[in-house]
Amino acid sequence: MADPASISAHVRALARPQTAQRAAGALVDLSAEVANRDALAKAGAIPPLISLLRDGSDGAKSYAAAALGNIALTDGYKVVIAEAGAIPPLISLVRAGSASAQAQAAGALRTLSLNEDNKLAMESAGAIPPLVALVKNGNDAGKRLGASALWSLSLLNTLRVAIHEEGGLAVLLAVLRDGSKNAKHEALGALCNLSRNEECKVTLATTGAILALITVLRDGTNNESAAGTLWHLAAKDDYKADIAAAGGIPLLCDLLSDEHDMTKMNAAGALWELSGNDENKIAINRAGGIPPLVALLGNGRDIARIRAAGALWNLAVNDENKVVIHQAGGIPPLVTLLSVSGSGSEKAAGALANLARNSTAAVAIVEAGGISALVAVMSPDNSRVTR
């Protein structure tokens, strides 16, 4: 931790025009260390840094935004900085600051937006149009940090609508196609959130997003968000065939064995949705998707198990798939999943009910101890077990 006297001296220097820029630069370095952030805030650094956002030189504005962004990384100060009035001048910097100040201000807004109240305050203060413009017209750092801010803001559905209406999807897709690796990562995270919105789904699918996402999967980068976006798009029946035609099914099947849990979960979710299409049921089997889906039943996180069971429920409608699921060892883990409360047991029951229409699989279900649970879910008033 820095010497308290040194911190106080730098904070006092913020108030003098001839020393403000140098002092703000020093605070950027100091605030990069977690231990110094509380000391800086208690020494009164936040108000003069906000004043510099409005009245400082270009360099001082950039440093002030960076220092505030660093201090805001400590959770308690996200609200303190916002309540001190930082959001409007940060937005002004994104709109009309130097390239460096624009990027640093976007980064600070991104950090502040990790607080939900701050998200709403930013939208009310007009943050979305300049952030979209920065992603469109900024330098690489501006595009990356602007997209990162939109990624965070797009966690709220109301803000997804605002980003869509401002033309954010097109500029984020442009970064996904032609941006730097890091900028693509941030843009894709934003697109994944935005694709949860129904209007955004339509816009994305009709402006070439599916092919762009498949390209990301082929490149092997950002698989988690790309698979998640395809999962959201595949929820609409119109796009199930489009994703398959673009070559998405084999790539998603491969991701079921990815080293990252979230990637596997998103791939399983996408295949669950895609398997609602009869042709896709066949394609998933031919792409080798059934064994890794079965493996997820036993080895995946709870969410992955539920999504894998949902996919197998759909896939087991197809007679050939029934055989493959049985041969892949799918029945014992599905029976085990019956004992789990919630949607996992429902999906496992649905898959087993479909599998039971194959005589060999039916015997295996009995031998695995699944019959009593299946009797309960296959009662005449239960219509949820076939798809």
Is 231 a member of any domain? Answer: no
Is 205 a member of any domain? Answer: no
Residue among 378, 321, 319, 372 nearest 346 (CA): 378
Is 203 a member of any domain? Answer: no
State which residues form the domain around 94.
Answer: 1-122
- Judge whether 110 and 70 are in contact, CB under 8 Å: no
Is 387 a member of any domain? Answer: no
Is 236 a member of any domain? Answer: no
pLDDT in tens, 64-87: 999 999 999 999 999 999 999 999
* DSSP secondary structure code for residue 2 in this structure: -
* Residue 378: per-residue pLDDT: 56
User: What's the rounded Cα separation, in Å, for the pair 352 and 313?
Assistant: 7
Amino acid code (one letter) for 25: G
- Judge whether 25 and 68 are in contact, CB under 8 Å: no
Per-residue confidence band for 387, with pLDDT thresholds at 50, 70 and 90: very low
User: What's the rounded Cα separation, in Å, for the pair 358 and 377?
Assistant: 18
Among 155-159, 285-289, 335-339, whose mean pLDDT is lowest? Answer: 335-339
Is 115 a member of any domain? Answer: yes
User: What's the rounded Cα separation, in Å, for the pair 230 and 243?
Assistant: 8
Q: What's 84's domain CATH number?
A: 1.25.10.10
User: What's the rounded Cα separation, in Å, for the pair 314 and 318?
Assistant: 8
Per-residue confidence band for 386, with pLDDT thresholds at 50, 70 and 90: very low
Query: Is residue 124 classed exposed, middle or buried when 0-12, 13-18 and 19+ CB atoms within 10 A define those classes?
Result: exposed
User: What's the rounded Cα separation, in Å, for the pair 164 and 331?
Assistant: 44
Is 55 a member of any domain? Answer: yes
Q: What are phi and psi of 374, to 5 degrees?
A: -70, -35
Is 197 a member of any domain? Answer: no
261: helix, strand or coil: helix
Instruction: Indicate if the pLDDT at residue 377 is higher than 70.
Output: no
* DSSP secondary structure code for residue 235 in this structure: T
Number of domains composing the chain: 1
> Mean of the pLDDT values across residues 117-141?
98
Q: Which residues of 133-152 are buried (b: 16+ CB within 10 A; e: fewer)?
A: bbbbebeebbbbbbbbbbbb
Angle in degrees, CA 164, 245, 186, rounded to 5? 35
pTM of the prediction? 0.93
* Residue 384: per-residue pLDDT: 45
- Quick count: other Cβ atoms within 10 Å of Cβ 205? 17
Among 24-28, 91-95, 214-218, 341-345, whose mean pLDDT is lowest? Answer: 341-345
